[in-house]
Amino acid sequence: MRDTVAASGVPRTADAVVVGGGCMGTSIAWHLARRGLGVVLFEKSHVAAGATGHSGALVRQHYETRLGIRLARESLTFFRRFEEETEFSCDFRTTGFLSGTRERDLPAFEALFELLRSEGVRADRLTPSDAKTMEPQLEVSDYAALVHDPDAGYADPIATAHGFAAAAVVEGAKVFDDHEVSSIETRSGKVTGVKIHGAGLLSAERVVLAAGNWTRDLAATVAPRLPVRYVRGEVAILRRPVDFGAPPRIHFDFYGNTYSRPEGEKDTLTGYMNTDPRKTMPRHEFVESLPAVTVRDLRTRLAKRFPRMNDAQPRGGWAGAYDVTPDSYPILDQVGPDGLFVAVGFSGHGFKLSPEVGRLLAEYAATGKRPKPLVPLRASRFAEKQLVHADAPFPGGKKRRIP
């Protein structure tokens, strides 16, 4: 990279530009910089200002496709070694993951359990009474069996994005907060750079859009429109009663459509997990505050699984927008002009996948050769009617699950 710098401090050239300072953009920037590329990342607000900073940040391997399990498994391995890899902490906490099935869904449960085991996930099959011993506050009377993944956990999503960004800087990348990319520049079917609001042009032959809920519209200025829609996601924080006992593990209730995990020592974070089409939003902007009635509704839902949570103290919450594709898997591809890459449509799974997706997309952008795991995630799969399909569908219904 030639080291010419504009008066604003923004270089005039780079090997690669990354747009967006969420967990994806920062992970991609770090992986590109480690490969020796001169990388500049632009974030229009501040690192982790988007979905990343609002994420539940659950990291689980419980997926219904081999592809999803593999991406999650590699990413979980990375999260557990985040500090050794990057020299920064993401505060990953191993909690374990529990999810149950009812009698009628046992065949689906067994198939999913086998799929997880065949992919090397350390999943244990529990009886309801085993689970009650392990998680005394959990209501298990309607469950016929449960799966336990002892390796799952959660991280601090803000620390994760900052950790990746700081590690990228150590590798020579430049990261600019408060710099909005206003257009993608092209010539003769190739990317030539980006225009930065108030800071002129930067030339680069690779531009990676990891701008979260803004990627679809930014890409559409130079490439065919991507099939991404926005769905409102809500998260509440509840202070557990003092006699609740030990913090509970991550729990997915496929029947009540809720998930929960500990938040620090005393609180529980809970959210809805279905992409109900009635929640589709016309726009992608965040609606950050959560009405008290929604927080109480989330508490009521959670209390069906953890009855002691009826006495939990609401401590607020927030809403964000999920970027959802028709098959709930992301689009990780080169689209439109040569040199334009997108990482979008994470459908509520983006945080946990960010280490491995960052690695794969950086490989693609740096070498021009698409890594094999990205083939099923190509943009053209929707037109080709080759959507990602479940290898073993989740027990308990047909709704798509997030996060």
Which residues of the chain form contacts with ligand FAD (CB under 6 A)? 19-25, 42-45, 49-52, 54-58, 180-181, 210-214, 218, 233, 235, 271, 320-322, 346, 348-352, 403
Nearest distance, CB of residue 274 and ligand FAD, angstroms: 13
Minimum distance, C-beta of residue 342 to ligand FAD, in the bound complex (Å): 10
**Is the Cβ of residue 58 or residue 365 nearer to ligand FAD in the bound state?**
58
**In terms of CB distance, is 82 or 346 closer to ligand FAD?**
346
User: Tokens in use for 48?
Assistant: 């982790």
Q: Which of 383, 272, 260, 259 is nearest to 327 (CA)?
A: 383
Q: How far is the CB of 2 from ligand FAD (least distance, A)?
A: 23
Least Cβ distance, residue 187 to ligand FAD (angstroms): 20
Q: How far is the CB of 44 from ligand FAD (least distance, A)?
A: 4
Q: How far is the CB of 243 from ligand FAD (least distance, A)?
A: 28
Comparing CB distances to ligand FAD, the nearer of 71 and 140 is 71
Q: How many residues does the chain have?
A: 403
Q: Minimum distance from CB of 276 to ligand FAD (Å)?
A: 14
Q: Nearest approach, Cβ of 58 to ligand FAD (angstroms)?
A: 4
Please say whether the dihedral angle defined by the alpha carbons of residues 212, 213, 217 and 220, taken in this order, is positive or negative.
Answer: positive
Which of 337, 403 has the CB closer to ligand FAD?
A: 403
For 250-294, give the DSSP string.
EEEETTTTEEEEEETTTEEEEEE-B--GGGEESS-----B--HHH
Dihedral of CA atoms 162, 167, 172, 174 in degrees, nearest 10, equals: -10
Find out whether 94 and 151 touch, Cβ atoms under 8 Å: yes
Report the alpha-carbon distance of residue 48 to residue 293 in Å, rounded: 27
SS3 state at 125: strand
Q: Which is nearer to ligand FAD, 102 or 399 (CB)?
A: 399
Nearest CB to ligand FAD, comparing residues 105 and 327: 327
Closest CA to 212 of 342, 379, 329: 342
The nearer residue to ligand FAD, 110 or 363, going by C-beta atoms, is 363
Q: Are 369 and 78 in contact (CB under 8 A)?
A: no
**HSE value, Cβ hemisphere, 13 Å, CA-based, for 375:** 4
Q: Using an 8 Å Cβ cutoff, are 168 and 30 in contact?
A: yes
Between 337 and 345, name the residue whose CB sits nearer to ligand FAD: 345
Cβ at position 62, least distance to ligand FAD in Å: 12
CB of 184 or CB of 390, closer to ligand FAD: 184
DSSP 24-67: HHHHHHHHHHHTT--EEEE-SS-TT-SGGGG---EE----SSHH
- The secondary element (H helix, E strand) that includes residue 181 is strand 181-187
Angle between helices 350-367 and 66-80 (to 10 degrees): 100
DSSP code, position 110: H
Determine the residue type at 399. Answer: K
